[in-house]
Amino acid sequence: MAVIGVSTSQDNHPANVIYNKNHLRYPVKTFPVNPKGGILNRETVYPSVESIPGEVDMAVIAVRAEYVPGVVEQCIKKGVKGAVIVSGGFSETGNHDIQQRVMEMAAEAAFPFVGPNCLGIYSPDRVDTFFLPGERLIRPQKGNIGFVSQSGGVLVDQMVKFSSQGIGVSMGISIGNKAMIRETEMLDYFDRDLETKVIAFYIEGFGKGEGRKFIRRAEQCSKPVVILKAGKSRKGSQAVSSHTASLAGNYRVFSEIMKQHCVAEADNEYELTSFCESLSCYSTTINGRVGIISLSGGHGVLAADTCERYGMSIPALEPATLAALKGKLRKGLADIISLNNPVDLTGSAVDDDIVAVTRHLSRDKNIECILALLLPYSPGVSADIGAKLSQVARNEGKPMIAYVPNEDKYKIIIEGFELNNIPVASSVKGAVMMANALKRCRPC
């Protein structure tokens, strides 16, 4: 990888941050480039891309906008496979001519590039073109979410949220002005990528005719597609134009089209996180009939209210299920709990009670998805409850989503679920959002 724009005098220059990070922390041979040449930390600074010995797979371009066309020309002559242009100062600031010139050069030479005005590519354990200091980044682990964002800031912030929820990414890409590589190209890439299971987008807007093309391709995609759309309001739409020079378009129309073409729209970044985690664990879709198990009546009520708000139902349990439960619960417990849906097991329940109720609710034909709202501070709940309920879910084959407070003290319970590919939410609302993802991302 060649990093063009590295400075021998400014250690905090964006190009230096990118160069040092990849040179020292990633398994990629990295070459610094600056027209003045010189030495940087005992490494040769090459005066041009063409002067680098051997082949170059990717160039990261971090020079002023007016110099970018010349650098792209060098890359094409060198035979570089592609580039990330992190530089700003193009169409987003009114410099359409420079961006157009770069686009035409690249198109003629079949030279793909990401950007300009972007952070570029983060691929866990492989490469990181973000011009953000490594010690400040919170990096999600390797996983199966492919995330594409027009905004670099939203991408980095979403990576923080993914990491806090234990969600891994196959790749995160900031496409900025998306002068050449756009959402549709990334959709095609991730659809083919064996390491990606869910494809998520933060989208500000499209060029003329681009939105129609993207939605049609998303409908044909073999993997769940989740979108967080910005520019929903008049002011937001105006901000989009000045940020990445995109057209936000009519949000209501776009939202309705997404529903018709089987794309799951997340209302906010927290819902995006929940959708991605749920869909990365389950390919099953539901109509929205949820069974709720709680150790607290209040939590069950909150979950029921939230389910109704999202258009999901809490059906009554079958008589056979109720009869089976009464025969399986410990003596005395059946007299103090509520066997309606939501099932309130109270703080007197122990692991065996929770497992028995979960198993029989999973066999109820009225229930499509189980929400297990666990309070790990209840005296009868053991550290093994996550693993035990995961085994029930695996045996019964019905989607289960857990709520466990996201605290280090309860990490062993959370891991009991996550190691068995059962999604865990850190709030009741988050758990309902995960169930909602299975309802909204349905095949056409």
* pLDDT at site 212: 87
Question: Same topology for domains 1-112 and 284-440, yes or no?
Answer: yes
Domain with residues 284-440, CATH architecture: 3-Layer(aba) Sandwich (3.40)
Q: How many CB atoms lie within 10 A of CB 308?
A: 12
Query: Which of 437, 429, 372, 441 has the alpha carbon at shortest distance from 401?
Result: 372
* Higher pLDDT, residue 443 or 52: 52
Residue ranges covered by each domain of the chain: 1-112, 138-281, 284-440
Domain 1-112 part of CATH 3.40.50.2300: no
Q: What is the pLDDT of residue 141?
A: 92
pTM comes to: 0.89
The span from the CA of 393 to the CA of 144, in Å, is 21
Average pLDDT over residues 433-444: 80
pLDDT score recorded for residue 444: 44
Q: Which of 13, 18, 12 is nearest to 3 (CA)?
A: 18
52-93 pLDDT per residue, tens = 999 999 999 999 999 999 999 999 999 999 999 999 999 999
Candidate CATH numbers 3.40.50.980, 3.30.70.3270, 3.40.50.261, 2.30.40.10; the one for domain 138-281: 3.40.50.261
Confidence of residue 237 (pLDDT cuts 50, 70, 90): low
> pLDDT per residue over 10-52, tens digit each?
999 999 999 999 999 999 999 999 999 999 999 999 999 999 9
Token pair, residue 10, equals 């400014």
Nearest-angstrom CA–CA distance, 418 and 167: 10
How high is the mean pLDDT of the chain? 92
Give pLDDT, residue 328: 80
Share of the chain above pLDDT 90, in %: 78
First CA to last CA distance, the chain: 42
E strands, 150-269, where?
Answer: 169-174, 198-203, 225-229, 264-266
Neighbours of 428 (CB within 10 A): 23
285-337 tens-digit pLDDT: 899 999 999 999 999 999 999 999 999 999 999 999 998 888 887 777 767 78
